[in-house]
Amino acid sequence: MDEIILVGGGGHCASCIDVIEQEAKFQVAGIVDMPDKHSTTLLGYPIIGKDEDLPKLTENYRYFLITLGQIKSPQRRIALFEELLQLGAQLPTIISPRAYISRHATVGAGTVVMHNSLINAGAIVGCNCIINSCALIEHDAKVGDHCHISTGSIINGGTQIAECTFIGSGSVVRDNIRIGSNALIGGGVSVMVAVPDNSLYTGKK
């Protein structure tokens, strides 16, 4: 089994560890975390370094996954993703065995698809995304790079979600509309109209 290094040691990392263990394609070799953290392990796996150790780690390990969460901003995840690519690391797609991905769908490098998610036929999900537990990406929807589709959210057919956007838990996005880049959609919101780039949408006027 190939070894993988996880970058980011918080709650999202713990959820990713569970998916990696269930998928059983990679063995977690260690976790990279912030230097001010005092923990030495997470779920039994060792914290083996911090961000500045990535160049050295890529000399010894091939596979990496960004396990830093994403709510307010994707910028740190983007920076880590680009740095790892420049260092020659490979970022595999991690898919829970309890998720369903249509063979007619596409999921990009470095994306994690969590338990009980569904990505239907013709859907395209970009790189370095989080498709969180119980999320639904319907047929022919497109999700850009560096997006987080939160727990229990529904992206209906033909919808386009541009890069770097966050969709809050339990939100429902109407079919065939566009959500702009760097948008932030609040939790539990029904999105019935297009949302411009760089917008905060809570459904309230």
pLDDT of residue 53: 94
Domains 2-86 and 93-205 share a fold: no
Q: CA dist 51 to 36, 43, 187, Å?
A: 12, 20, 31
The CB-side HSE value for 103 (13 A sphere, CA atoms) comes to 0
CB atoms within 10 A of CB 84: 22
* Sheet (strand 154-155) strand order: 100-101, 118-119, 136-137, 154-155, 172-173, 190-191
Tens place of pLDDT per residue across the chain (205 aa): 899 999 999 999 999 999 999 999 999 999 999 766 667 889 999 999 999 999 999 999 999 999 999 877 899 999 999 999 999 999 999 999 999 999 999 999 999 999 999 999 999 999 999 999 999 999 999 999 999 999 999 999 999 999 999 999 999 999 999 999 999 999 999 999 999 999 999 986 5
pLDDT of residue 194: 96
In the DSSP assignment, the letter for residue 136 is E
In the DSSP assignment, the letter for residue 171 is -
| CATH level 3 topology of 2-86 | Rossmann fold (3.40.50)
Is there a contact between 115 and 95 (Cβ–Cβ < 8 Å)?
Answer: no
pLDDT of residue 35: 67
Report if pTM > 0.85: yes
pLDDT of residue 37: 67
**What is the CATH code for 93-205?**
2.160.10.10
Every domain of the chain and the residues it spans:
2-86, 93-205
